[in-house]
Amino acid sequence: MGGKTPFGYVVSPDGRLVEVPEQQRAIREMVHLKEQGKALRAIAESMKAQGYRISHVAVKDILNRARLQSR
């Protein structure tokens, strides 16, 4: 349909979103860190240390998306 592909996914040749296992693990870790009370910037720094170029704003968006999907 268009737009930016969400972190944790790639677009398949037929246009479907397909999970990227290592990014899905990073998302689960972000959720875990937030549940521990970590700030968005601290989570972003942790992800950067693991090689993910991600901002605290992106972490917020990812966590919001993860929360919506878990409902």
pLDDT tens digits along 41-53:
999 999 999 999 9
Residue 60: which domain range?
21-69
Residue 15 lies in a domain: no
Residue 70's pLDDT band (cuts 50, 70, 90):
confident
Residue 13 lies in a domain: no
Could you tell me the pTM of the whole model?
0.91
Residue 1 lies in a domain: no
Indicate if the pLDDT at residue 2 is higher than 80: no
pLDDT at 60: 97
Which tokens is 58 given? 């992106």
Residue 1's pLDDT band (cuts 50, 70, 90):
low
C-alpha 4/C-alpha 10 separation (Å) is 10
Averaged pLDDT score across all residues of the chain: 95
* Cβ count near 52 (within 10 Å): 16
C-alpha 69/C-alpha 7 separation (Å) is 14
Residue 6 lies in a domain: no
